[in-house]
Chains A and B, each alone.
Chain A
Amino acid sequence: MIKHLRSAADLDAPTATLILDTAGEMAALAGREVKKLPTLRGRTVVNLFYEDSTRTRISFEAAAKRLSADVINFSAKGSSVSKGESLKDTALTLQAMGADAVVIRHPASGAPHRLAAWVDGSVVNAGDGTHEHPTQALLDAYTMRSRLGRLDGLRVAIVGDVLHSRVARSNVLLLTTLGAQVTLVGPPTLIPVDIAAALSPATKVSYDLDSVLPDMDVVMMLRVQTERMQDSYFPSAREYSRRYGLDLARMRKMPEHAIVMHPGPMNRGMEITPEVADSSRSTIVEQVANGVSARMAVLYLLLGGKA
């Protein structure tokens, strides 16, 4: 079994499938009155958050608590280098506290890799800079599999600011590992260089959303920050949403069965219209619920056995 989850690339197909299967069992248990399981009694999970992300932190916290782990929330806001304790000193503190797992959210890409070198426990990447967010990819894959019954051969478009998206990177890696065919869609300025060579040779790139939609089983919209405008990634919010936003007219171009996903938080009116976000094809609410099951599965597989 793996020791850390720093990147979706840490997961081979059998391990990823095991996590999804386990998440399925966890989800089934979530339906009953007593949600708590004794599995991780006596284990300590630290949520080390250098960025405000209430959604993700609460999801991890709920996952750890349902498994009866002791949860310590360690919020290290104001992540500036000069001020406050260094990541290494914090790591040594967590080490002394006997953390069995550290869930880390950090604005700097690679922070979980650094942390893993300094603590004995497992490190779970809860989003690092513009690098990865592997548990988001797991819950997304879980959601796709529950809705569509399979991942192998599934055609998935990931649309928007791929350049700055940790969700996109993790999704490309995980979905490709599980046999899905990923197409990245966005303006050329927001598609990182050499993306296929970097992540997976089978990854396709398109700059034309309309031509892609009819062939997709899943369309995942990424959050696009309007501030990107100032850096000339695109001329205006209006032009962006005209070319790459998902509205009802575009959604009708998708096959009947195709679903719409969004990792949240949404910029309604920018990359997705409210009618699409709230439509029956949207899995946005399920994604949140599935997040807890997927994270329970990850914590169980990292901590539920011999260290």
Chain B
Amino acid sequence: MTSYLLRGVSLLGAELRDVAIVDGRISDNAPADAEIIDAAGLVALPGLVDLHTHLREPGREDAETVETGSRSAALGGYTAVFAMANTSPVADTAGVVEQVWRLGREAGLVDVQPIGAVTVGLAGKQLAELGAMATSAANVRIFSDDGHCVADPRLMRRALEYVKAFDGIIAQHAEEPRLTEGAQMHEGEVSTRLGLTGWPAVAEEAIIARDVLLAEHVGSRLHVCHVSTAGSVEVLRQAKARGVRVTAEVTPHHLLLTDELAASYDPVYKVNPPLRTASDVEALRAALVEGVIDIVATDHAPHAVEDKECEWAYARPGMVGLETALPVVLSVLGERWDLIAERMSRTPARIAGLTGHGTDLAVGEPANLTLVDPSARRVVDPSELASRSRNTPYAGTTLPGRIVATFLRGEPTVLDGKAVK
């Protein structure tokens, strides 16, 4: 196995030093034959961990595969991604989660950790075999019907309780379905002007409020996916103050973009939950800094061209995000490297119970890390994305930071900003 010496790297933006990687781990000193990487001006972060990725395989390999999604993740600085269960077939059995897990191992670019569905077929009627998925080779700990809300309160309560047996966690896509029938975008001034059916903030807030009460009642852990409103932040703040074991994520796009973008009717801006208002964006940013929102998760949602080059109402919601997540967060938080490591690597790994990721670069730890050039600026070009899909909302936008290299257990997956395989 090749050894590496990262020369002159800045750990989390602080001291410059040399970091050696030997046998897949961080080491004291490099052997004489170590490959030397000039890391002057580069910042080392623990490899990023994404709790919310749609890899589309099995079922929509025309939009993304485990392999192309993994490559996209590695280029974004990720060393682990959690693959959502809304594939076809749905990842609601040990068989499907093991298939995804195996495809991830074969691609070998990031650790692909499958998320299991909460209910059979994401139908919200009957619990999937959560225990079987937990004890499968995929070792599933996060369960989610993402794309759908577990709307039935009794079913949600049971799910929260049931996964305690194997320290699982339910990740809820908070959307009261009766309040969002036919919804196309954030309900507000812009939806009224555009004549698009509104997705009211309260549809998210009501479910989060209910779920934190349920989690508190049964003493379980709850994770809230893609928080998008200022009201949700307040619900979470109060719950956390009471000691409810709730964690929450925000997507890069909800930290940067607003509902005004829908005015073009270009469905590249259609996403669920929808882009909200500028004051929501402001509240989400503050909550992320404060820790009311624990992590950034991409909700990377690749879609085939025909699902986006159409009328807004007929388009599928979602945006690709793995390759732009860190640049977007950098542009929002600035070069607060320790905070970025906390929100994009350490905390997501901890929530998921994922060992070997999200650890700082101490001697003996697995060498899962990424090197970032913070001075670089890049104009996002959809055609350059490694994802099989092109539905980025940032086309033509200049974003700071470039991921120069990513290492997965000491093996480079990205070097010179290019995927190694």
Contacts and interface: CB of A to CB of B under 8 A. Distances in A.
Touch test A–B (CB under 8 Å): yes
Interface of A: 81, 86-88, 106-111, 113-114, 128-132, 166, 169, 192-195, 197-199
B195 A132 contact: yes
B310 interface: yes
Nearest to A162: B192
B187 interface: yes
A108 B188 contact: no
Nearest to A80: B314
Nearest to B309: A88
B353 to A, nearest CB: 40
Nearest to A131: B195
B265 interface: yes
B192 A86 contact: no
A88 B306 CA distance: 9
B154 to A, nearest CB: 24
A114 B198 contact: no
Interface in B150-199: 184, 187-198
A211 to B, nearest CB: 24
Contacts of A86: 306, 309-310
Interface residues of B, number: 23
Contacts of A108: 311-314
B355 interface: no
Given A110-B265, A113-B264, A113-B265, A194 B312 contact: no
A306 to B, nearest CB: 27
Contact of B311 (A87, A166, A197): A87
Contacts of A128: 195
B193 A109 contact: no
Given A86-B306, A88-B309, A109-B196, A198 B189 contact: yes
A50 to B, nearest CB: 9
A198 B190 CA distance: 6
A243 B280 CA distance: 37
A129 B313 contact: yes
A88 B309 CA distance: 7
Nearest to B193: A198
B310 A169 contact: no
23 contacts: A87-B311, A106-B311, A108-B313, A109-B194, A109-B313, A110-B195, A110-B311, A110-B313, A111-B265, A113-B265, A114-B266, A114-B312, A130-B195, A131-B195, A132-B195, A169-B193, A192-B191, A193-B187, A193-B198, A197-B189, A198-B192, A198-B193, A199-B193
Interface string B195-218: 111100000000000000000000
Contacts of A81: 310, 314
A174 B35 CA distance: 69
Nearest to B200: A193
Interface string B308-334: 011111100000000000000000000
A228 to B, nearest CB: 13
B192 A194 contact: yes
Contacts of B310: 81, 86-88, 114
9 closest A-B pairs by beta carbon, nearest first, are: A131-B195, A110-B265, A108-B311, A198-B192, A194-B189, A198-B193, A109-B195, A192-B192, A130-B195
B188 A193 contact: yes
A114 B193 contact: no
B170 to A, nearest CB: 31
A114 B266 CA distance: 7
Contacts of A132: 195
A132 B196 CA distance: 11
Contacts of B313: 107-110, 129
B186 to A, nearest CB: 10
A110 B264 CA distance: 8
A202 to B, nearest CB: 15
B195 A129 contact: yes
A88 B267 CA distance: 13
Contacts of B264: 113
A232 B188 CA distance: 20
A110 B191 CA distance: 11
Nearest to B190: A198
Q: Which of B184, B193, B311 has most A Cβ within 10 Å?
A: B311
